[in-house]
Amino acid sequence: MLLRPAMLDLLRRLLRRLLRRLEALRPATRMEILRREDFTEPLLRELHTLANTLMAEDFDHFRVHAESNERAYLFRRADSGALVGFQFWSTEPIDLPRSRIIVGGKLRILPAFRSRGLHLLAGLLYYLELQLRQPRTRFYRLSLASLFGFVSLTESLAAYTLFDPRARGEEAEAVREAFLSLARRSDYRIDEETGLAFVDIFMTEETLRRYPPSFFERPAARVYATVNPEYRTNGCYVGFWFRFTGPNLLALTRAILRKLARASRSGASSQGSRGAPGS
């Protein structure tokens, strides 16, 4: 389903409002969008330093993946400019009529800033940029995700499909070839029986300890563990995909609004505590 121009204009205005709300949080966060030609050595080193504290990965492997993408959305503190997160993005052809895929690359956000929906907002902004440029194109979103990325994104969707390399049909086979192409460009290996992608990135114990046991019991986390039971140690990610349909865009927007509202309440509570008499 292609969105009408009026719906795209509404989405654009709504995203502008969401960006203003993001900048109003404390500490405020700003978004920086870079093209591939802006991926300098110092920048990649900065991104890798943050990424490596969360999921262990060597720099050369990180660089290969980074340079396979077209955009980097960086999230920085507005006061200090300190990097608090990033995500890579690219768009590629798919063997379906008037269609392209959007690929969300590596996503890393410091724990203190994960409740703001930064990556969801970045994903909608990138989609909107592409859809406005190509209004008659249908976009698919493909992702090879860690447990944390999978839970965060799939919980914010109305519908998605796990990648199954054995599925048949025109759409399923086009998606399969797109996933295999994505893996080759990032130097990943996909098991063509299970669909798991060996990405050679491993969770650190420190990262796992940051999450309460209840996180791993969430329905999306259980789905992930069913598909990838050795995810803590095997260096593999799970693939999934979805279309940018009206219901999914609505679900994503509502998820961002919920996250920003919670972050705003949390920030107000914190400010109030610090400013209380006798504090």
Residue 270 clears pLDDT 70, i.e. is over it:
no
Question: Which domains are present in the chain?
Answer: 5-273 (3.40.630.30)
Distance between CA atoms of residues 186 and 68, nearest Å: 6
User: Comparing C-alpha atoms, which of 161, 121, 97 is closest to residue 22?
Assistant: 121
Residue 272 clears pLDDT 70, i.e. is over it:
no
Q: What phi and psi values does residue 248 have, to the nearest 5 degrees?
A: -70, -40
What residues have CB less than 8 Å from 180, skipping those under 6 apart?
A: 190
pLDDT in tens, 191-227: 989 999 999 988 888 888 889 999 999 999 999 999 9
Lookup result for tokens 């050795």: 230
Beta strands in the chain (DSSP E): 29-35, 55-56, 71-77, 83-93, 99-109, 138-145, 161-162, 189-190, 197-198, 202-203, 236-243
Residue 278 clears pLDDT 80, i.e. is over it:
no
Distance between CA atoms of residues 24 and 102, nearest Å: 29
pTM (two decimals): 0.84
Place 22 in a pLDDT band, splitting at 50, 70 and 90. confident
Integer angstrom CA distances of residue 252 from 56, 59, 90, 245: 29, 32, 19, 11
Q: Are strands 55-56 and 236-243 parallel, antiparallel or unpaired?
A: unpaired
pLDDT in tens, 233-242: 999 999 999 9
For the chain, state the CA radius of gyration: 19
The reported pLDDT for the residue numbered 222 is 98
Average pLDDT over the chain reads 89
